[in-house]
Amino acid sequence: MENPVIVSLQDIVVDFDGEPILTGLSLDIHDKEFVTLLGPSGCGKTTTLRVIGGFVEPKSGKVLFNGKDIKSLPPYKRPVNTVFQKYALFPHLNVYENVAFGLRLKKMDEKEIHSRVMEMLETVGLKGFERRSIAKLSGGQQQRVAIARGLANHPKILLLDEPLGALDLKLRKEMQIELKRLQQAMDITFIYVTHDQEEALTMSDTVVVMNKGHIQQIGTPEDIYNEPKNAFVAEFIGESNIVDGVMRRDFMVEFAGASFSCVDKGFAVNEIVQVVVRPEDIQVVPAIQGTLTGVVKDVIFKGVHFEMRVEQAGYEWIIHSTQASQPGELIGMNIGPEEIHIMRRMEE
Amino acid sequence: MLKNKSLAYPYLVWMAIFIAAPLLIVVYFAFTTAEGKFTLNNLTGIAPYTAVFARSLLLAGAATIICLVMAYPVSYFLSRMRANKQHIMLMLVMLPMWMNFLLRTYAWMTLLEKNGIINKILGFFGIGPLQMINTAGAVILGMVYNYLPYMILPLYTAMVKIDDSLIEAAQDLGAGTWRTLTRVLIPMSAPGIATGITMVFVPSVSTFIISRMLGGGGNMLIGDLIELQFLGNSLNYNVGSAMSLLLMVVVLLCMSLTNTMGDEDVEGVI
Ligand SMILES: Nc1ncnc2c1ncn2[C@@H]1O[C@H](COP(=O)(O)OP(=O)(O)O)[C@@H](O)[C@H]1O
Ligand SMILES: [Mg+2]
């Protein structure tokens, strides 16, 4: 699984007009992985991508490609291609010429260009569209042209900046699967930017969660979901219940007025911590059997499950359950040791 | 969108009276003798002035090329500035146009004179005095100075429409500065280039004030020649009309040439 590191960002600092955007960001990206930069809008994802692409020169820090510093290498000399947020297709060229753009610059011979372009268009499902003008394509088709154009150059790394942002939900889901397939078929590194956590979890080998120019956590989708390092990650990756608690000793935590066994250790005795419980990990039981008891405030049907808000001793719990309780009903809640996740308190 | 086509009628009437009718009159004069008989002598009579026509095309062509080369980078950087700065800079570009055309050209006369300011400054460094006024160079300078904004504006208008991301995409795919210019910027700004060329070349090729004021007697252009036929001592409406007609044909040819360049069919480029 651990491929060699292909791109390494070391202590990258980027300012815009004196405003710090990235403040010492370090990140290793492994070869042939699907890596996603995930975070809220404005957190510096695009800027990070542009540092790798060569469009933003960091004030300090190193950008290593296969161990070599490429900080001063201009974009057109980097073995990296980009799928831009708004596609950035050339409107004066047709589909074929857009895809061939990079190949023509390489002075490849016409036969080779032709076979490469046709191969790429076939890969993205746009065979027969060669002569079409860009303006006559739908959003989804433009997206595919942009991807084909990026891949045609056979880059070592493809950078994708929220490429599915403008597409409707159904098309987005299709393209997610498509992109994952493409990445595996081409056998190269994809660095993908999104603010959509579900997208990140579905497609990635590695997710990099960012906030305010800092990396919050790096890990597999499972890691990030099940073992969030802090409240920001927990909250950003899906819904969760986050409450303050006290570590009484190893494997024993107290919160919401009750003691729970857990699987975490290594905290100081009586250390104040934050506890994360996913809504689907709370078991609803009859009131007398519950470690916690609370009153159901409301119930919303969400398609696959019901979402309930439960009031318990001043806390409000969100529970996802396939069985609905009645609003006003007193219910019991149990949480297994595996489902309790302890985090050190976030220093703001 | 205005649906009511009758709103266009006033202009149609205007066109009929002030454009179509004079044109017909010019054609009539061009092909008739002073007595009103049909003749081709007026047109063939232009032959001795071929040199003047050639000079006009040459000087106007040179001025157009200089304008294009100067205006292109200016327009590009203008189009990449922040929106509020763009407006200020555009004002500065247009500022000279608010001054009277004659006044501007007079100003150049005094600057370029034998004992004008430029020669005085040069003399201070022990250079000159140079013969600047009454040269072909001075005429070109006058054209460039007067018509440069007409090149900048259409180029700028075409280039603000080119998103930064397209330039970045070109670089991303392996194009350096030169190839970004030739493969993306120039093709995408072609309509602006065509308009700019037309807007500089047409007034330059038909000017008579610039050549008379800055060119002296030795740099006569078509415009001067035509003026002589109507107001000067040659006084020959028929030959003057023939010359006007020929000039018009030349201009139309040049415009259709640049227009095909402007809206080149992008799908046929392969
Ligand atoms: N060219 C720029 N000039 C000034 N500020 C910028 C520029 N590009 C981005 N920023 C600022 O940097 C921050 C991070 O932007 P960005 O990397 O685009 O975030 P994201 O892609 O995560 O939404 C934002 O606050 C944005 O306003
Ligand atoms: Mg962004």
For residue A335, the domain's CATH number is 2.40.50.140
| Residue B191 is assigned to a structural domain of this protein | yes
Domain boundary among A169, A201, A233: A233
Write down the ipTM of this complex.
Answer: 0.84
Does residue A223 contact residue A232 with C-beta atoms inside 8 Å?
no
Instruction: Say how many domains are in chain B.
Output: 1
| Residue B170 is assigned to a structural domain of this protein | yes
Global pTM exceeds 0.90:
no
Which one-letter amino acid corresponds to residue A61?
A: G
Judge if A59 and A190 occupy the same domain: yes
Judge if A41 and A182 occupy the same domain: yes
| Residue B10 is assigned to a structural domain of this protein | no
Judge if A284 and A211 occupy the same domain: no
Judge if A310 and A260 occupy the same domain: yes
Judge if A179 and A270 occupy the same domain: no
Judge if A21 and A85 occupy the same domain: yes
Ligand whose nearest atom lies closest to the CA of A14: 1
Residues A320 and A305: their CA atoms lie apart, in Å, by 6
Supply the pLDDT for residue A347: 57
Q: Which domain holds residue A317?
A: 240-344
Supply the pLDDT for residue B176: 94
Distances (CA, A) of B115 to A139, B112, B129: 66, 8, 8
Judge if A162 and A21 occupy the same domain: yes
Instruction: Say how many domains are in chain A.
Output: 2
Judge if A267 and A304 occupy the same domain: yes
Closest CA to B186 of B255, B261, B123: B261
Residues B109 and B114: their CA atoms lie apart, in Å, by 10
Closest CA to B222 of B55, B31, B42, B45: B55
Cα angle for residues A23, A51, A48 (degrees, 5° grid): 55
Domain boundary among A192, A212, A233: A233
Q: Is residue A46 in contact with ligand 1, taking CB distance under 6 Å?
A: yes
Ligand whose nearest atom lies closest to the CA of A21: 1
Which one-letter amino acid corresponds to residue A121?
A: L
Domain boundary among A233, A268, A295: A233
Tens place of pLDDT per residue across chain B (270 aa):
567 788 888 888 998 899 999 999 999 999 999 888 999 988 888 888 999 999 999 999 999 999 999 999 999 999 999 989 999 999 998 888 888 888 989 899 999 988 888 888 888 888 878 888 899 999 999 999 999 999 999 999 999 999 999 999 999 999 999 999 999 999 999 999 999 999 999 999 999 889 999 988 888 899 999 988 888 777 889 999 999 999 999 889 888 888 777 655 443 333
Q: Is the pLDDT of residue A270 over 80?
A: yes
Q: Which domain holds residue B55?
A: 49-269
Supply the pLDDT for residue A215: 96
Q: Is residue A37 in contact with ligand 1, taking CB distance under 6 Å?
A: no
B176 CB within 8 Å of a chain A CB:
yes
Which one-letter amino acid corresponds to residue A163?
A: P
Task: Kindly determine whether residue A85 and residue B171, on different chains, have CB atoms separated by under 8 Å.
Answer: no
B245: three-class secondary structure by DSSP: helix
CATH of the domain at B236: 1.10.3720.10
CB crowding B55-92: b at 16 or more within 10 Å, else e: bbbebbbbbbebbbeebbebbbebbeeeeeeeeeebee
When pLDDT is averaged across residues A92-99 and rounded to a whole number, the result is 96
Who's near B54: CB < 8 A, 6+ residues apart? none
CATH of the domain at A32: 3.40.50.300
Which one-letter amino acid corresponds to residue B64?
A: T
Task: Kindly determine whether residue A94 and residue B183, on different chains, have CB atoms separated by under 8 Å.
Answer: no
